[in-house]
């Protein structure tokens, strides 16, 4: 069994997900995890598919041939070390250029592995100021959590971190 990581982008149009899912199903692929978005008129998505080895090449070929959609496909070979804790953080701060780099750098330097990042920009309720919000999933050793939270809170006075597990 192969696990494919498929990254697609192209001008958004009706039926793209239907087309992707039909091709995957035709090759007995199992759509496992995905994140699909409409961004500034474009469809952008990342999909993980499990497929038997003998169907892999044909599936890849047909996905890459979808008109108007650019797909990059990799065969995954997971080799990450086991971690003792998965942490979910909700981060809120005044929006500014470089905030994602600051947060990701702290996570990296505290030996965390950023598993998932979902971010948005919103207007503050009373001031209308741009607010950065992110939900971050991190794999990290249980003994490093307090140091990570402390380091994140040192980024800026306005940065707030809520923790869940």
CB atoms within 10 A of CB 118: 11
Task: Tell me: pLDDT of 165 over 70.
Answer: no
* Residue 80 within a domain: no
Domain boundary residue, one of 43, 75, 107: 75
Indicate yes or no: pTM above 0.85: no
- Say what the pLDDT of residue 43 is: 97
Give the tens place of pLDDT for each residue, 9-55.
Answer: 999 999 999 999 999 999 999 999 999 999 999 999 999 999 999 99
- Say what the pLDDT of residue 83 is: 53
Query: Are 158 and 101 members of one domain?
Result: yes
Task: Tell me: pLDDT of 146 over 60.
Answer: yes
Domain boundary residue, one of 75, 94, 126: 75
Choose between 54 and 115: higher pLDDT. 54
Cβ-count burial of 155 within 10 angstroms (0-12 exposed, 13-18 middle, 19+ buried)?
middle
Instruction: Supply the Cα-derived Rg of the chain in whole angstroms.
Output: 19
Signed CA dihedral, 17, 21, 8, 101: sign only: positive
* Residue 7 within a domain: yes
* Residue 148 within a domain: yes
Query: Are 51 and 96 members of one domain?
Result: no
Query: Are 91 and 129 members of one domain?
Result: yes
* Residue 103 within a domain: yes
Give the tens place of pLDDT for each residue, 54-70.
Answer: 999 999 999 999 999 99
Q: What is the CATH number of the domain that holds 11?
A: 3.30.70.260
Query: Are 92 and 150 members of one domain?
Result: yes
Q: Residue 136's domain spans which residues?
A: 85-164
Give the tens place of pLDDT for each residue, 68-82.
Answer: 999 999 999 766 555
Contact present, 67 and 28 (Cβ < 8 Å): no
- Say what the pLDDT of residue 70 is: 97
Domain boundary residue, one of 49, 75, 101: 75
φ, ψ of residue 110 to 5 degrees: the values are -100, 15
Q: How many domains does the chain have?
A: 2
Q: Comparing 90-94, 118-122, 161-165, which segment has the lowest mean pLDDT?
A: 161-165
């Amino acid at each position: 069994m192969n696990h494919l990581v498929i990254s697609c982008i192209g001008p958004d149009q009706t039926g793209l997900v239907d087309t992707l899912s039909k091709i995957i199903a035709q090759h007995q692929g199992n759509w496992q995890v995905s994140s699909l978005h409409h961004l500034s008129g474009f469809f952008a998505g990342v999909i993980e598919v499990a497929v038997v080895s003998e169907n892999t090449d044909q599936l890849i070929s047909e996905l890459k041939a979808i008109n108007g959609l650019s797909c990059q496909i990799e065969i995954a070979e997971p080799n990450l070390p086991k971690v003792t804790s998965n942490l979910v953080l909700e981060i809120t701060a005044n929006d500014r250029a470089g905030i994602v780099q600051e947060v990701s750098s702290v996570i990296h330097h505290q030996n965390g592995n950023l598993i998932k990042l979902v971010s948005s920009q919103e207007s503050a309720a009373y001031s209308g100021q741009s607010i950065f919000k992110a939900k971050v999933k991190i794999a990290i050793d249980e003994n490093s959590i307090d140091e990570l939270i402390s380091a994140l809170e040192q980024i800026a006075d306005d940065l707030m971190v809520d923790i869940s597990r």
